[in-house]
Structure 1
Amino acid sequence: MSLAMLFKTHWFQSLLAFFLVLGASFDAWSEARPERLLLATQEWRPYQYQENGQMKGPGIEKLKCIMRVMQQPYQLTMTDWDRAQILVEVGEQHGFFLASPNSFRSKYADYSASVMSQVWSWFSLSDSIDPQSEMFKDEVVVTAIFGSNKWFWLHKAGYRVEKKPRQSVTLVELLLSGEVGAVLANDFVMEEAIKSLGVSHRAITRKVMKEKPLGVYFSKKFTKQYPLFISEFNQAIAQCEER
């Protein structure tokens, strides 16, 4: 084979390799993001709620900031909390928010960095309760929002959980009626519920338990299809915190 033919063959192979790499790059870019991100959530005042057909609250505003930074089209669906998680597990939604991490959710979804934080506290009508005591666990009926991380935690820790409230105001009502002796709830959410019912804060006592992060869970199917998405999402969280 002549030198000219060798050069031509080498040039053709190099050009072919370049277009293959370029094509792969375009494919990778097209798969880097979904056309529209589908996220499910719950009405959880004051973090996120609907008013006059609009979704509002600090959780919604934080998510909007993240989507603006990423320039990512999105769609939010507000539904029951347990249904929001099931929709992600079966693949009908890409993720759910605001959520704290637990081992069950992590079986089918991957967790983002913390978007916001929350404080878990015990609320009761008596300041003498000891939620850590075995007597309390054996004798006092307690609850939390059904399907929440707190609700599952109570079950796992061995507390008597006999109610399945789906609204934060229901937690207050169960407490005031004596149907439960204590509830485990988010400080921010419980304060809003107490205020909305016109109940005096002095009537209900609070004992701080711990602080937990709140983030977004994305289905493992989604993160497998878009492996760079959570990293970019987390970077956008950091940028929104600086604003």
Structure 2
Amino acid sequence: MCVISLCVLSLCVFSPGAMAYNRPERLLLATQAWFPYQYQENGVMKGPGIDKVKCVLRVMAQPYQLTMTKWDRAQLQTEVGSQHGFFLASHNSKRDEYAVSSEPLAEQKWSWFSLSDAADFNSAMFQSQVEVAALFGSNKWYWLQKNGYQVTKKPRTPEALLSLMLNGDVGAILGNDAVIEQTIQKMGISYRAITRTRVKSQPLGVYFSKTFVQQYPRFLTEFNLAARQCR
């Protein structure tokens, strides 16, 4: 687990009393290793997801601590209150039960990846008879379950996800285009062996716990205003 802390001095934009009421002393955000959006290199967190969040918090002059951990743990820690939020995340109803999403900081494209060019991913037969997979704890994994697909595998890395497909353990995987493409290159797999079918695009933002939003009612509005300056 990797942690980055940064203390930023306010330039007297807010009075001390107002600052104490509207802002946490230090914002605690959790994330996952999700190349190319965010990753670690020689112990340093990098990637456009990290850069976007840092930009917003720099505009806000908000001290923060970023923790890189497993994705399901990042969400659970936000739900129980040991973290204020998690990123980068797409919207779903399960997360909405305990957290509130910011305005988008990035975008992801969802696609089916398979070794067959004849699969009808939307057919009732495919949904009922073909085992599929997505990264465990991701919005895509819950989307598959919600929409009646046969999903029981729980891969926690893109490499493990692709291996399920390559080994024939699942008939197809649902993944983020940028993540899967980078993983295909990293694993040295031939693109010609894989068929890709676009599903949809999803905005990505920061989810803040409802408890945090209630405690600091102006924070999310200020975060969203700052986010617009970092696009």
Look at both structures and tell me which one has the larger radius of gyration over its CA atoms: 1
Q: Does 1:191 align with 2:184?
A: no
Q: Alpha-carbon deviations, 1:19-52, whole Å to 9, x = none? A: xxxxxx8644421111111000111111101110
Gaps of 5+ in 2: 1-14
For residues 204 and 170 of structure 1, the distance between their equivalents in structure 2, rounded to whole angstroms, comes to 16
Distance across 1 between alignment mates of 2:165 and 2:57: 39
In the alignment, what sits opposite 1:114?
A: 104
Q: Secondary structure at the match of 2:29?
A: strand
User: How far apart, CA to CA, are the structure 2 residues paired with 1:183 and 1:103?
Assistant: 22
Alignment-mate amino acid for residue 235 of structure 1: L
Say whether 1:75 aligns with 2:75.
Answer: no
Is 1:30 matched up with 2:23?
A: no
Q: Deviations over 1:45-87 (max 9, x none)?
A: 1110111000011101111111111111111111111000000
Letter in 2 for 1:35: E
**Separation in 1 of the partners of 2:200 and 2:49?**
20
2:139 paired with 1:153: no
Q: Aligned AA for 2:128?
A: D
Q: Give 1:237's aligned residue.
A: 227
- What is the TM-score with the length of structure 1 in the denominator? 0.87
Q: Within 5 A, what are the aligned runs for 1:220-235?
A: 220-235=210-225
Structure 1 unmatched ranges of 5 or more: 1-24
Q: Quote the Cα distance in structure 2 between the aligned partners of 1:55 and 1:130.
A: 39
Q: Which residue of 1 aligns with 2:164?
A: 174
Counterpart CA distance in 2 for 1:53 and 1:74 is 18
* C-alpha separation in 2, matches of 1:29 and 1:86: 28
Secondary structure of 2:54's partner? helix
Q: 2:4 aligns to what?
A: none
One-letter code aligned to 2:92: N
1:200 alignment partner, one of 190, 195, 198? 190
1:170 Cα deviation from its structure 2 partner: 1.0
Give CA deviations for 1:120-154 in whole Å, capped at 9, x if unaligned.
Answer: 10000111111100110111110100011100110
Q: TM-score, length-normalised on structure 2?
A: 0.92
Instruction: Report the counterpart of residue 216 of structure 1 in structure 2.
Output: 206
Q: Deviations over 1:190-243 (max 9, x none)?
A: 1011111000111111000001110000001100111111111111111011xx
Question: Is residue 138 from structure 1 mapped to residue 125 from structure 2 by the alignment?
Answer: no
Secondary structure of the residue that 2:220 maps to in structure 1? Answer: helix
